[in-house]
């Protein structure tokens, strides 16, 4: 008998030791990970904030659109943050405020008066404002692999009625228990039995938090014991406020596709498009009621059931003294007040794809998905809207069957910031990002690199140099040959250099590129920012290779800013949850092309849209609005390209088929139409074409490139490197009256419009 007692004693102590080790293990797990889990937040990706100041180029319509994107509600009388009113040319907004890195933009009522597509006056409380910024639009997030998303909120920012209502419904003894409540379990069972529905749960808030943080949803005795032990340990190590705050930020409240909605703050935004602190009682009760069954009581899918649950919660809150019976009656009469606008309005998958790729160069995916970083980007919702409208409108006109695809990249000329991005014909749907990944021959879009390389040799080439646009055959290795042809299948004889580019003559361009050397052409492309797909073959002179729209945007960005290569960027800065900047991405400049030669090239690209293959641009733009650009068409019309720039924007558009079949389009009949339609609505500044130092203007005869008198037959003004003008001169002296009154460059130079 004593032997049995001894064995049982040893077994008891062994089990006790194992239990203690188990408790020690659970305790270590809680203390080492609880704080980390409290802050496991996905990165939030924001658009650029809209800067408001007197004189800013912004219409009342655009301002109202941006506010609607941000979730502001249009009302007749402002009563709280998140509202605006619009009457004729006056817009009043009650801003929410926002904490930017290093500064706080306060919540305030602001009056904007508009005139001539500009802000005429900006004021608050009757006093003029110099500058303010709206809270930026959150355009997406970077979530962990399990897809959980949450918006962190501090306990003091949660309405008191919501805190007390949550405890009244979920855990009435929260302030006094040690993690679990025997009486709470019994009371919940009795309440549910009486009401005939689930009014309260048996698990405490602490137990629910433990289950969400550490355990699986399986229902076993072992899991329940572990939950109870960990709940007690959590209560020992952390105070009630920390536990309640963590629960409010963690509780699961629904699903949006693969994205799991966690926490009341994010749920308030998702279901009501309203900050948590601004929710009404009826909305607070709805979210509290969803805790028991986020799918069952989802108001978007089951509004009737959700309202019934909400009303039950309001009744409990009144019974427990959280709110008055009068307030409960009023709240029960309120509609659900759900966000009626689809979440897709904030879906910009192509741009978010670009942001992710640029972030991965410096940050681990784990950090992006858990550290609660704020990513402030260069994305402009107003420019994106115009790019989408232009894309949709033109694509429907040229291809109603939906067989063609497209992509557009828009950058800001002065900074190289990517402001808008179209990754496909349906811009709001994720999928193959053609702006970054569709690599196709660029056709004549590469030709400016060849002409730039020539113009950087002013002793050999000028805009008035004569090129031969005549057929030739080049023998290649393996018994093959290359015989380029012009698009119109015609040869044009001797043509001036600027005209060869303006009219996109293949024979003249190929001859010029081969004279310069393929290595020179390839190196010039690299200097302009093209780092991919360059094919060092004779057909490179006519666009052979594989290039994405983003690569072409980098090239034309360099040309647009006078030969300064600047990496295209989508991110301005990255901040931690405390608002401290971790990274700032400033504009970088690196001169890689001669300023004067680039200026001459810009002239030729303006000639493309004035007299050459891109002249249909001015069916969309006013004649006085100066832009520059280049068409591109590949063999058999497989790819339609247009790239160009104004005084404030650079844009590249591509149209093609995913199966690489023929589109039946040229650069001018396809991509140009999207580009020009966009520029006509989005660009606010024409190209400012001011000659740099060492540039002189001379009048030449366009038939032979000789100097001639102004106003003589076939005369026009061209820019030259100082001293590089032609030696030959015609016999015609300057005339009193110019013959070619349509010479746009003469008008531009003289300041005429």
Residues annotated as catalytic are 170, 444
Please name the residue that has the structure tokens 């690199």: 449
Taking CB atoms within 8 Å and a gap of at least 24, the contacts of 315-318 are 316/165, 316/168, 316/169, 316/199, 316/200, 317/161, 317/164, 317/165, 317/168, 317/169, 317/285
What burial class does residue 367 get, using C-beta atoms within 10 Å of its C-beta: 0-12 exposed, 13-18 middle, 19+ buried?
middle
- What number of other Cβ atoms are within 10 A of residue 308's Cβ? 14
Distance, in Å, from the CA atom of 551 to the CA atom of 528, rounded to the nearest integer, reads 10
CB of 250 closer than 8 Å to CB of 262: yes
Alpha helices in 39-181 (DSSP H): 60-69, 160-170
Distance, in Å, from the CA atom of 266 to the CA atom of 151, rounded to the nearest integer, reads 5
Question: Which residues make Cβ contacts (< 8 Å) with residue 14, sequence separation at least 6?
Answer: none
Instruction: Give the pair of three-digit tokens for residue 157.
Output: 């920012």
Question: Which residues make Cβ contacts (< 8 Å) with residue 179, sequence separation at least 6?
Answer: 204, 206, 207, 228, 231, 232, 233, 234, 235
* 187-205: burial string, b at 16+ Cβ within 10 Å, e else: ebeeeeeeeeeebbbbbbb
Distance, in Å, from the CA atom of 672 to the CA atom of 51, rounded to the nearest integer, reads 31
Of 649, 655, 650, 647, whose CA–CA distance to 673 is shortest? 655
Question: Which residues make Cβ contacts (< 8 Å) with residue 615, sequence separation at least 6?
Answer: 608, 609
Three-class SS state of 404: coil
What separation in angstroms does the CA of 453 have from each of 251, 523, 702? 62, 9, 22
Distance, in Å, from the CA atom of 90 to the CA atom of 543, rounded to the nearest integer, reads 51
What separation in angstroms does the CA of 481 have from each of 476, 510, 542, 546? 5, 14, 15, 22
- In this structure, are strands 259-262 and 148-150 parallel, antiparallel, or unpaired? parallel
Taking CB atoms within 8 Å and a gap of at least 24, the contacts of 457-462 are 458/596, 458/597, 458/720, 458/721, 458/724, 459/724, 461/497, 462/497, 462/600, 462/718, 462/720, 462/721, 462/724, 462/725, 462/726
- In this structure, are strands 43-46 and 374-377 parallel, antiparallel, or unpaired? parallel
CB of 630 closer than 8 Å to CB of 623: no
- In this structure, are strands 83-87 and 73-74 parallel, antiparallel, or unpaired? parallel
Distance, in Å, from the CA atom of 410 to the CA atom of 422, rounded to the nearest integer, reads 9
Q: Tell me which H or E stretch contains 468.
A: strand 466-469
CB of 127 closer than 8 Å to CB of 106: no
User: For the chain, how far is it from start to end, CA to CA, in angstroms?
Assistant: 115
Question: Which residues make Cβ contacts (< 8 Å) with residue 160, sequence separation at least 6?
Answer: none
Of 114, 107, 57, 66, whose CA–CA distance to 88 is shortest? 114
């Amino acid at each position: 008998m004593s032997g049995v007692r001894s064995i049982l004693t040893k077994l008891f102590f062994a089990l006790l030791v194992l239990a203690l080790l188990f408790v020690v293990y659970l305790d270590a797990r809680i203390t080492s990970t609880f704080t980390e889990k409290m802050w496991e937040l996905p990165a939030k990706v924001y658009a650029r904030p809209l800067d408001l100041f007197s004189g800013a180029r912004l219409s009342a319509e655009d301002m109202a659109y941006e506010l609607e994107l941000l979730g502001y509600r249009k009302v007749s009388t402002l009563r709280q943050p998140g509202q605006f009113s619009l009457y004729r040319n006056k817009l009043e907004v009650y801003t929410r405020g926002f904490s930017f890195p290093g500064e706080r933009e306060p919540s305030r009522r602001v009056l904007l008066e508009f005139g001539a597509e500009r802000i005429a006056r900006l004021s608050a409380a009757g006093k003029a404002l110099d500058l303010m910024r709206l809270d930026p639009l959150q355009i997406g997030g970077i979530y962990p692999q399990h897809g959980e998303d949450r918006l962190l909120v501090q306990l003091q920012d949660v309405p008191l009625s919501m805190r007390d209502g949550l405890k009244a419904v979920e855990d009435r003894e929260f302030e006094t228990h040690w993690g679990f409540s025997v009486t709470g379990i019994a009371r919940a069972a009795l309440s549910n039995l009486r009401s005939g529905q689930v009014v309260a749960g048996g698990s405490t808030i602490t137990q629910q938090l433990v289950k969400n943080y550490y355990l699986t949803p399986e229902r076993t005795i072992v899991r329940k014991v572990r939950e109870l032990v960990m709940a007690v340990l959590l209560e020992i190590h952390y105070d009630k406020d920390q536990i309640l705050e963590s629960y409010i930020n963690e509780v699961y409240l629904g699903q949006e596709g693969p994205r799991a909605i966690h926490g009341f703050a994010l749920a308030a935004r998702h279901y009501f498009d309203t900050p948590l602190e601004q929710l009404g009682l009826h909305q607070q009760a709805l979210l509290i009621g969803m805790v028991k069954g986020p799918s069952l009581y989802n108001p978007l899918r089951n509004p009737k059931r959700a309202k019934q649950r909400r009303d039950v919660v309001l009744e409990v809150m009144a019974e427990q003294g959280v709110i008055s019976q009068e307030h409960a009656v009023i709240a029960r009469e309120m509609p659900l007040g759900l966000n009626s606008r689809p979440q897709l309005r904030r879906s910009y998958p192509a741009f978010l794809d670009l942001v992710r790729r640029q972030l991965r160069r410096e940050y681990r995916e784990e950090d992006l998905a858990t550290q609660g970083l704020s990513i402030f980007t260069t994305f402009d919702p107003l420019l994106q809207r115009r790019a989408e409208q232009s894309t949709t409108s033109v694509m429907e006109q040229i291809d109603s069957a939906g067989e063609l695809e497209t992509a557009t990249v828009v950058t800001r000329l002065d900074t190289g910031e990517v402001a808008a991005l179209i990754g496909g014909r349906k811009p709001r749907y994720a999928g193959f990002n053609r702006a970054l990944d569709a690599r196709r021959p660029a056709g004549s879009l590469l030709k400016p690199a060849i002409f730039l390389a020539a113009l950087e040799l002013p002793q050999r080439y000028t805009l008035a140099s004569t090129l031969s646009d005549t057929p030739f055959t080049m023998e290649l290795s393996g018994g093959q040959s290359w015989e380029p042809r012009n698009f119109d299948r015609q040869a044009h004889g001797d043509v001036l250099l600027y005209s060869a580019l303006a009219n996109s003559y293949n024979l003249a361009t190929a001859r010029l590129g081969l004279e310069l050397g393929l290595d020179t052409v390839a190196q010039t492309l690299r200097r302009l920012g093209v780092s991919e797909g360059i094919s060092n073959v004779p057909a490179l002179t006519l666009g052979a290779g594989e290039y994405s729209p983003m690569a072409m945007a980098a090239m034309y960005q360099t040309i647009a800013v006078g030969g300064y290569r600047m990496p295209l960027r989508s991110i301005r800065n990255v901040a931690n949850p405390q608002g401290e900047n971790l990274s700032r991405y400033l504009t970088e400049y690196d001169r890689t092309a001669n300023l004067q030669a680039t200026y001459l090239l810009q002239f030729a690209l303006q000639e493309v849209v004035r007299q050459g293959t891109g002249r249909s641009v001015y069916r969309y733009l006013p004649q006085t609005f100066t832009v520059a650009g280049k068409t591109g068409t590949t063999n058999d019309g497989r790819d339609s390209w247009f790239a160009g720039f104004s005084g404030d924007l650079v844009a590249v558009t591509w149209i093609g088929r995913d199966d690489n079949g023929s589109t039946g389009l040229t650069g001018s009949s396809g991509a140009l139409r999207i580009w020009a339609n966009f520029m006509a609505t989005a660009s606010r500044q024409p190209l400012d074409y001011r000659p740099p130092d060492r540039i002189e203007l001379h009048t030449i005869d366009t038939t032979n490139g000789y100097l001639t008198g102004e106003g003589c037959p076939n005369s026009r003004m061209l820019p030259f490197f100082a001293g590089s003008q032609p030696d030959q001169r015609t016999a015609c002296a300057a005339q009193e009256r110019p013959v070619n009154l349509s010479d746009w460059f003469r008008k531009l130079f003289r300041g005429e419009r």
